[in-house]
Structure 1
Amino acid sequence: MSLSTTTAARWVERWERQQQLYAVDREERFEVIADLVEHVTRDRAVPLVLDLGSGPGCLAARLAARLPTAEVIAVDADPLLLELGSAHYGPALRYVRTVIGEPGWLDALALERPVDAVVSTTALHYLGTRTLRGVYRELAGLLRPGGILINGDHISPDSTKVSELAIDIGRRRSERTAVPLVEDWDSWWAGAAADPELARLLAHREDTGRPHCEGNDLTLSGHVTLLRDAGFDHVGPVWQVGPSHVLAALR
């Protein structure tokens, strides 16, 4: 039984709302990432873009709308989120289920040409430092010369004191701009579990298991070092609000 577009739209909309709790100025971050991808691919007829840890594809769908000739691949490990996105956004995106960083994870993408841009938002902090080092190296190998890796995530400044300031600035910014939110991560999943139409997908999610969350405590300079070691020639932050950064790395 296929997931209805009405159900998918409802749960993707709820996903968007709860994610606002976890990313300061989320919409502006998405716009900045799209600006970067558009800049780097402006001379490409059919850009190839990967969104890693895409969830249902909220950022990927925005990129596809901004770049209508692009091939955009949404990559995630969660079958429920991928199915919700596929039913909601339709053929605008290609969805691939794979666990980022596991041996052979890139094989599932079935890529036939170099990638123009890899993006990720609020996802790569789940990877351990050793795993992330390997992922950065693999992505450098996928990208064409002049291609870009963009990581929008919670990335702390190097100074502990400055990091404390950034966190407070981010909190204040959220309080000034946020709309009233009634849902968080746990309540979204609890609500999904209570929806009979999602039962099959949730069962499949439990059967296939969920990737282990190692996590890392890399500061900004830690990410920059890993990216340069991986083969990226030009690395640095291009946007920041509080602890929320957009980090760009060019091949």
Structure 2
Amino acid sequence: MGLSIATAGLWVERWERQQERYAVDREERFTVIADVVEHVTAGQDRPLVVDLGCGPGSLAVRLARRLPNAEVVAVDADPLLLELGRTHHGRAARYVRATIGGAGWVEALGLRRPLDAAASTTALHYLPEDALRRVYRQLAAVLRPGGVLVNADHLFQDCAGLSELATRVGRRRAERQCVFDQEDWESWWAGVAEEPEFADLLAERRQVMRDLGEGKDNGLSYSRHVALLRGAGFSHAGPVWQFGDSCVLVALR
């Protein structure tokens, strides 16, 4: 039995508020991603875009609103978050369950033509460097010439002192916006655990998380990301927007 529309809507709304605690500039980052994808796909009758690590569809739905003629494919390994997205934002994207970087994940997307764009927000930092290198190569292989990869995340500076300052700048902005009054990650998941409609999905999710292991930040600087992207076959890569340690990194195929 699937989730009710009302339950999905309630928990997606709580997800949106919870995520603002960790990225006060989240909506601006979404807008920048959409700006980039819109520019690169201008003139395309039906752009093909993949949302990597889509969660409950936050980025996918914003891309679909900006690009109503686009075909958006949203991929994630988390069965609960995927079902939230499928139920609440079902018209925004075609949702695919696959582990990014895992065996057969690109084939699972069911792509029948080259991608125009791949986008991600606060997801790829969980991939170890070797897996990320592989994913970048795989994306370069399925993107059309002139296509783009857009990765929005908290990225480190090479210099520890600058990285500390960038993090501090971001935190001070968050404090001014009072986002730390919002529900946090642990509280959101604790609430999910008490929702009867989620029982089967939570059991499935626990198995998935056991198989994947505990995700940890790979700690890569944005310049290391750039080096990996260039090595994977992207012609140019660099940041197009940044505030504190929050960055939108773009790579051109």
Shorter-chain TM band? over 0.9
Asked if the contact 1:17–1:181 (Cα under 8 Å) also holds between the matched residues in 2, the reply is: no
In structure 2, the residue matched to 1:198 is 198
Determine helix, strand or coil for the equivalent of 1:90.
coil
In structure 2, the residue matched to 1:54 is 54
**Offset at 1:217?**
1.6
In structure 2, the residue matched to 1:32 is 32
Cα distance in 2 between the residues matched to 1:78 and 1:202: 10
**Offset at 1:179?**
4.4
Give 1:65-80 correspondences, 5 Å limit: 65-80=65-80
In structure 2, the residue matched to 1:167 is 167
In structure 2, the residue matched to 1:216 is 218
Asked if the contact 2:24–2:179 (Cα under 8 Å) also holds between the matched residues in 1, the reply is: no
Asked if the contact 2:154–2:247 (Cα under 8 Å) also holds between the matched residues in 1, the reply is: yes
Cα distance in 1 between the residues matched to 2:121 and 2:184: 17
Higher mean alpha-carbon deviation, 178-187 vs 89-98, is at 178-187
Would the alpha carbon gap of residues 208 and 156 (structure 1) be closer, same or farther in structure 2, given more than 3 Å must change?
closer
Percent identity between the two aligned chains? 63
Q: Write the deviation string for residues 220-247 of structure 1: whole angstroms up to 9, x where unpaired.
A: 2101100000000011100001001000
Higher mean alpha-carbon deviation, 206-215 vs 18-27, is at 206-215
**Offset at 1:78?**
0.4
Determine helix, strand or coil for the equivalent of 2:100.
coil
Higher mean alpha-carbon deviation, 69-78 vs 196-205, is at 196-205
Cα distance in 2 between the residues matched to 1:178 and 1:119: 28
Aligned AA (1:241)? F
Asked if the contact 1:49–1:71 (Cα under 8 Å) also holds between the matched residues in 2, the reply is: yes
**1:99 counterpart = 2:96:** no
Asked if the contact 1:18–1:181 (Cα under 8 Å) also holds between the matched residues in 2, the reply is: no
Cα distance in 2 between the residues matched to 1:209 and 1:215: 16
Return the TM-score normalized by structure 1.
Answer: 0.97
**Offset at 1:27?**
0.5
Would the alpha carbon gap of residues 208 and 168 (structure 1) be closer, same or farther in structure 2, given more than 3 Å must change?
closer
Would the alpha carbon gap of residues 99 and 149 (structure 1) be closer, same or farther in structure 2, given more than 3 Å must change?
same
Higher mean alpha-carbon deviation, 139-148 vs 198-207, is at 198-207
Where do 5+ consecutive residues of structure 2 fail to align? none
In structure 2, the residue matched to 1:147 is 147
**Offset at 1:189?**
0.7
- Which runs of 4 or more aligned residues in structure 1 lie more than 6 Å from their structure 2 counterparts after TM superposition? none
Asked if the contact 2:77–2:208 (Cα under 8 Å) also holds between the matched residues in 1, the reply is: no
Determine helix, strand or coil for the equivalent of 2:9.
helix
